[in-house]
Structure 1
Amino acid sequence: MMGAQGIGDLLRCLRVRAGRTRPEQAQHIESVQGQWFDPERVKRWETGKRIPTSTDFQLIADSYGIAIEVVRAAVSCSRQQRRIGHLNPPEEGADQVQRRTFMGFALAAGLGGEPWGRLAAALEGAPVDKVTASQLVSKTAKLFTAEERTPARMLAAQLSAHLDTITTVLPTSGTHRRELTIAAGEAAALAGWVHWDLGDPETAMRYYDTAALAGRRAGHPAINALVLGYTSYGVGPVEARKMLAAAQEHVREPGYATARAWLCAREAEEAAAVGDREAAVRALDRATTAFDYADPGGEQAWVSFFVPARLASMRVATYARLRHRALEAAADEALAELGTTETKMRVAVLGDVASGYLVAGSVDQAVEVGRRALAATLETETTMGKLRLASLATQLPARHREARAFREEIRASLG
Structure 2
Amino acid sequence: MLCPDGIGQLLRAIRETTGRTREQQAEFLSNLGAPYVDPENIKRWETEKRLPVPYWHPALSKGYAIPEEEIRRAITASRQYRRAAGAAAILLDQEEDDDMHRRTAVFGTAAIAAGMATDPWGRLAAAVSRPKVDGETAAALVKKTAGFFTTEEHLPARLLTRRLACHLETLTALIPGAGRHEKALMVAAAETAALAGWAAFDEGEHDNALSYYKTAALAGKEAGHPPAVALAMGYASYAAAPGKAREMLKTAQGHVKGRGYASARSWLAAREAEEAAGIRDPDGAVRALDRAVTAFDYAEPGELPWMSFYRQARVDSFALSTYAKIRHADLTSAADAALEHLGDDDSKIRIAVLHDVANGYMAAGEIEPGVEIGRRFVEAATTTPTTMGRQRMRDFASVLPADTAAARSLAEDIRAALVA
TM bracket, shorter-chain basis = 0.7 to 0.9
Measured on the aligned residues, the alpha-carbon RMSD in Å equals: 3.2
**2:105 corresponds to 1:104:** yes
Partner SS, residue 199 of structure 1: coil
Deviation at 1:80, TM superposition (A): 4.3
TM-score (norm 2): 0.77
The equivalences for 1:90-169 within 5 A come to 96-98=98-100, 100-101=102-103, 103-106=104-107, 125-169=130-174
Per-residue CA distance 1:221-243 (angstroms, 9 max, x = gap) = 11111111111111221111100
Partner SS, residue 243 of structure 1: helix
Instruction: Name the structure 2 match of 1:343.
Output: 347
The equivalences for 1:185-334 within 5 A come to 185-295=190-300, 297-334=301-338
**2:396 corresponds to 1:392:** yes
Q: Which amino acid aligns with 1:210?
A: T
Identity among equivalent pairs (%) = 45
Conserved? CA contact 1:265–1:287, under 8 Å:
yes
Partner SS, residue 361 of structure 1: coil
Work out which of the residue numbers 59, 63, 68 in structure 1 matches 2:78. Answer: 68
Deviation at 1:298, TM superposition (A): 1.2
Conserved? CA contact 1:57–1:71, under 8 Å:
no
* Structure 2 CA distance for partners of 1:117 and 1:130, relative to 1, 3 Å: farther
Separation in 2, partners of 1:194, 1:399: 38
Deviation at 1:117, TM superposition (A): 9.9
Spell out structure 1 runs of 4+ moving beyond 6 A. Answer: 29-32, 115-118
Separation in 2, partners of 1:212, 1:386: 28
Deviation at 1:68, TM superposition (A): 3.5
Partner SS, residue 303 of structure 2: coil
Conserved? CA contact 2:91–2:102, under 8 Å:
no
Partner SS, residue 402 of structure 2: coil
Higher deviation after alignment, 375-384 or 342-351: 375-384
Conserved? CA contact 1:32–1:153, under 8 Å:
no
Separation in 1, partners of 2:189, 2:50: 29
Separation in 1, partners of 2:352, 2:191: 22
Larger-Rg structure? 1
Separation in 2, partners of 1:156, 1:396: 34
Q: Which amino acid aligns with 1:324?
A: H
Q: Which amino acid aligns with 1:135?
A: A
Q: Which amino acid aligns with 2:220?
A: G
Deviation at 1:71, TM superposition (A): 2.8
Q: Which amino acid aligns with 2:49?
A: T
Higher deviation after alignment, 136-145 or 219-228: 219-228
* Structure 2 CA distance for partners of 1:89 and 1:396, relative to 1, 3 Å: farther
Structure 1 residue runs without a partner (length 5+): 1-6, 15-24, 36-52, 59-63, 91-95
* Structure 2 CA distance for partners of 1:188 and 1:57, relative to 1, 3 Å: farther
Conserved? CA contact 2:88–2:106, under 8 Å:
no
Conserved? CA contact 2:175–2:182, under 8 Å:
yes
Deviation at 1:30, TM superposition (A): 8.2
Separation in 2, partners of 1:31, 1:168: 26
Separation in 1, partners of 2:51, 2:172: 25
Separation in 2, partners of 1:30, 1:206: 27
Separation in 1, partners of 2:10, 2:339: 34
Conserved? CA contact 1:352–1:388, under 8 Å:
no
Separation in 2, partners of 1:352, 1:120: 41
* Structure 2 CA distance for partners of 1:199 and 1:32, relative to 1, 3 Å: farther
Separation in 1, partners of 2:295, 2:198: 24
Partner SS, residue 325 of structure 1: coil
Instruction: Name the structure 1 match of 2:49.
Output: 55
Instruction: Name the structure 1 match of 2:175.
Output: 170
Deviation at 1:326, TM superposition (A): 1.2
TM-score (norm 1): 0.78
Aligned length: 354
Separation in 2, partners of 1:276, 1:54: 54
Per-residue CA distance 1:158-177 (angstroms, 9 max, x = gap) = 10111111111111111100
Separation in 2, partners of 1:78, 1:126: 21
* Structure 2 CA distance for partners of 1:99 and 1:222, relative to 1, 3 Å: farther
* Structure 2 CA distance for partners of 1:98 and 1:209, relative to 1, 3 Å: farther
Separation in 2, partners of 1:76, 1:251: 47
Conserved? CA contact 1:265–1:283, under 8 Å:
yes
Instruction: Name the structure 2 match of 1:402.
Output: 406
* Structure 2 CA distance for partners of 1:200 and 1:118, relative to 1, 3 Å: closer
Conserved? CA contact 1:268–1:280, under 8 Å:
yes
Deviation at 1:406, TM superposition (A): 0.3
Deviation at 1:98, TM superposition (A): 3.8
Conserved? CA contact 1:266–1:314, under 8 Å:
yes
Q: Which amino acid aligns with 1:410?
A: I
Partner SS, residue 55 of structure 1: coil
Separation in 1, partners of 2:130, 2:155: 33
Structure 2 residue runs without a partner (length 5+): 17-46, 53-73, 117-124
* Structure 2 CA distance for partners of 1:88 and 1:281, relative to 1, 3 Å: same
Separation in 1, partners of 2:115, 2:169: 13
